[in-house]
Amino acid sequence: DPDHSIHPASMTKIMTAIVAFDLIKSGNLNLEDKFMISENAWRLSSAGYSSMFIMVGDEITVDNLLKGIIIASGNDACVALAEGIAGTEAEFAVMMTAKAKEIGMENTNFTNASGINDPDNVSTVRDVMIMSNYLIKNHPEFYKLFSEKEFTWDRTGGDPITQGNRNPLLYKNMGVDGIKTGYLAVEKYSLSSSINRNGRRLIAVGSGFESMNSRSRESAKLLTYGLTNFDLVEIAKANEPIDNLDVWLGKEKTVSVYAKDDIYKTIQKAKKDQLKISLKYNGPIEAPIVKDQVVAKLRVVYDQELIGEYDLLAAKDVKKVNFFTRLMKSLNYLIWGDV
């Protein structure tokens, strides 16, 4: 059940990174910004949790903290980044939950930045997939960090420490390039993984695996099954004409419509004939029409189920004809049914 409530464990760190990436993208955070490490953040590294091994009083760049989170899965780095951005980890968790709601994660609530066990830090497999997809789609320049296999931190008071990425699928010859593992005693093992092969991007999310081996094995099976049995079908390309719709009382008889974003659907190969695409609108569309006005819907039905409905926008302005022309067109329509 993709909507069954789970504890996302360290998959929580995907959202921790997303919040930081969004701030960097908007110009409100810089990779070279430095945050002072608090005792609160350091305490996690001394408590046996997965850590970057930061020390109280260290000043660490956002760049290094992100690597410590993404590659080394450092819980201490999560707290340090959260405190540096929001003042407290609790306030940062509020930002995380707000972002989750914004991108459609309807059953998620974050209470911390690391995923350390908290009964109220909850999500679902579906929501983790939505979060993972948002990361890949909106931050491709940062997503490559999730495929890095090791990170070396030149720590204070000790030799540099090199830690490997905990994602086991990165070390298999199958093309996996992310994303994040998780483990909690109450949830067992979890993994959000992704593969990009021949231009096709697949994401597989699983939780509740009994062992690290079963997590790795079953996640690899999911990705392989998806590549073998499903195709990515292009429904529409962003900003390209889809159809011409009839216009009523306009200086032009039709108006071209387009979708604002690319529309793709992953469809089972054996059921490709069950994919149906249609336009929904009240036509003919009455002028005047303003460029980029929503004038229709594109509906995607698969196996008799509606799997997507998207706004279609007018490609240009269409002005209304003058009164005399409107009168003649109205009479013509009444007599002949011609718009």
User: Where in the sequence numbering do the catalytic residues fall?
Assistant: 10, 13, 73
* Lookup result for tokens 């979890």: 190
Structure tokens at 302: 């698969």
Residue 298 sits at φ, ψ, to 5 deg, of -100, 120
Q: How far apart are CA 59 and CA 35, in angstroms?
A: 5
Nearest-CA neighbor of 17 among 55, 57, 73? 73
Structure tokens at 114: 């690391």
Residue 234 identity:
E
Structure tokens at 304: 């008799």
Structure tokens at 166: 């905990």
Structure tokens at 91: 């306030």
DSSP string, 182-244: EEETTTEEEEEEEEEETTEEEEEEEEEESSHHHHHHHHHHHHHHHHHHEEEEEEE-TTSEEEE
Q: How far apart are CA 72 and CA 310, in angstroms?
A: 40
